[in-house]
Structure 1
Amino acid sequence: MAEVYEQRPRRRRGRRLLIVLVVLLLILLALAVVADRVGAAVAERVIGDRVAEQVADKGASSDAPDVTIEGVPFLTQVASGEYQEIKIELRNFSGPAGNGQTIKMPLLDVRAQDVNAPLDTLRSGNGDITAGTVTGTGTVDYATVTDLIGRDGVKLAENDGKLAVTAPVQVLQQSVTVNGTAKLTVADGNVVQVRFETLDAPGLPNIPLVQNLLNNFAKQFSFDIKVPELPLQMTVQKVQPTADGLVIAANADDVSLNTGGI
């Protein structure tokens, strides 16, 4: 009986030790999670500040950048100075488009990949933060686009993946509605060229005089969109009509996220 009595306290002490170890482990895990989030917040703030400076230096404006460092655990990325992907959202982005015009985008959604940000740089704010690739997309709504045409009654929309126009015109002293689609190309300097090459007017005779008039209207409806200079060295690569407007896709390689790198 004495032998059994001696074993019970030992078992109790073993269970208590196990409980203490589990509690300590949970505390350490909680501290690691807190440290992970705090570290992420610091890095996101540093990068956000630098992007905001670049936006201002371009003569553009936006809400404060909303920066999110993707990938977990974050602290392993900090230790290596290499980040998988950083999401940067610039809401209410707007900038000069020439001729006193302003182009606005509700959201300029930027993704920086293969980002190198040494820990010392994040701590001190000095040094280089670079990204192997940066991509961005933003939408210019059709109300803004039609303002660039400068004609009353013009309506733009997406039709089967193309930019379509509908507009009232006067042909041979009668009011008719013309329809057509545009060819979109990107030229140097972030210029999107919108060219309505042909227009149709149902009900009008297919004669050379009418065709010449429609061709002239097509030229009048054609215009250029000067996309504001974008941050992070991005240049426009593609334009795609959607239900909400023209989606501008831009990118850049080997980008400095530092103000001095623009």
Structure 2
Amino acid sequence: MRALRITLIVFVVLGVLFVAADRLALYMAESEAADKIKSSQGLTSTPDVSINGFPFLTQVAGKELDEVEIGVDGLTTDAGGGRTVRVTKLDAKLHNVRISSSFSSATADSATGSAHISYADLSTAAGQGITVGYAGADESGRGRVKITGQLMGLSLSTYSTVTIVNGDTIKLHAESVPGSKIPQWEQKVRQRTDMERKIDGLPAGMKLDKVETDEEGINVSVVGKNVELAG
């Protein structure tokens, strides 16, 4: 009986040590992945990376990770016309990530993601005197935003539809511009209100899926299959 107890204790201790080693390796891998994403994408803050599934070392040995989650806060992108817009939150989830033999690349069977842009940040991108807010959906169900404010001393109030173009571009386009008969007025208004942002750098196999508006801002969903990830 004593030998049995000793054997059980040894197995328990070995199990604890394996779990500790597994968690340490996991932490190091997540940290390294976060640093690589930060440097490759030129981010100012380090993203959150979570590799799910247990044990991690067994997944690495089999060169396939069950699930990887990535979260980035405060990403700033070009909105065109010399303007930038801040993406409040970007999340992505990769499923069944197969790692190459050299660990230099990986392919995810599928991926989903979402991004959120607040109305406050859209207003900042539009410039001083312009406010972007919630407007519900139009008759066809497309998301809309309401744009109000002052431009060149005149009051402005119009609605813009928010759509996805070609699977890689977010487009805000004013449905109509009040006072458009004034020479060059519509052009000046659209320079402030219209935005067309192509999301560069999406991994092969991923695309923008749909866009919706709510009281908090614009929400964009991303989907993908056989998503290729560079090392």
Aligned to 1:45: 31
What displacement does 1:220 show?
A: 4.3
Aligned to 2:3: 17
Q: Does 1:167 align with 2:148?
A: yes
Q: Does 1:28 align with 2:14?
A: yes
Please tell me whether the aligned partners of residues 177 and 189 of structure 2 are also in contact (alpha carbons under 8 angstroms). Answer: no
> Map of 1:1-262 to 2, 5 A cutoff?
14=1, 16-56=2-42, 61-118=43-100, 121-122=102-103, 127-150=104-127, 152=129, 154-157=131-134, 159=136, 162-165=143-146, 167=148, 181-188=159-166, 190-197=168-175, 220=189, 223-233=194-204, 234-259=206-231
What displacement does 1:50 show?
A: 3.4
The normalised TM-score by structure 1 is 0.67
Of all paired residues, the percent bearing the same amino acid is 23
Distance 2:81 2:174 in 1: 22
Distance 2:214 2:149 in 1: 23
Please tell me whether the aligned partners of residues 89 and 117 of structure 2 are also in contact (alpha carbons under 8 angstroms). Answer: no
Distance 1:230 1:245 in 2: 23
Point out the structure with the larger helix share: 1
Structure 2 unaligned runs (5+)?
A: none
Distance 1:83 1:252 in 2: 17
What displacement does 1:133 show?
A: 2.7
SS of the equivalent of 1:229 reads: coil
Distance 2:62 2:227 in 1: 19
Please tell me whether the aligned partners of residues 191 and 224 of structure 1 are also in contact (alpha carbons under 8 angstroms). Answer: no
Distance 1:79 1:102 in 2: 43
Q: Check 1:90–1:177 CA distance in 2 against 1; reply closer, same or farther (3 A cut).
A: closer
Please tell me whether the aligned partners of residues 50 and 258 of structure 1 are also in contact (alpha carbons under 8 angstroms). Answer: no
What displacement does 1:84 show?
A: 1.6
Structure 1 unaligned runs (5+)?
A: 1-13, 201-209
Point out the structure with the larger strand share: 2
Distance 2:26 2:200 in 1: 29
Distance 1:148 1:96 in 2: 10
Q: Check 1:237–1:115 CA distance in 2 against 1; reply closer, same or farther (3 A cut).
A: same
Q: Partner amino acid for 1:163?
A: R
Distance 1:158 1:73 in 2: 47
Please tell me whether the aligned partners of residues 128 and 258 of structure 1 are also in contact (alpha carbons under 8 angstroms). Answer: yes
Please tell me whether the aligned partners of residues 55 and 231 of structure 1 are also in contact (alpha carbons under 8 angstroms). Answer: no
Please tell me whether the aligned partners of residues 95 and 229 of structure 1 are also in contact (alpha carbons under 8 angstroms). Answer: no
SS of the equivalent of 1:72 reads: coil
Distance 1:252 1:62 in 2: 26
Number of residue pairs aligned between Structure 1 and Structure 2: 219
Deviation per CA, 1:20-44, whole angstroms, max 9, x where unpaired? 1221121011012112212322332
Larger radius of gyration: 1
Aligned to 1:203: none
Distance 1:103 1:129 in 2: 30
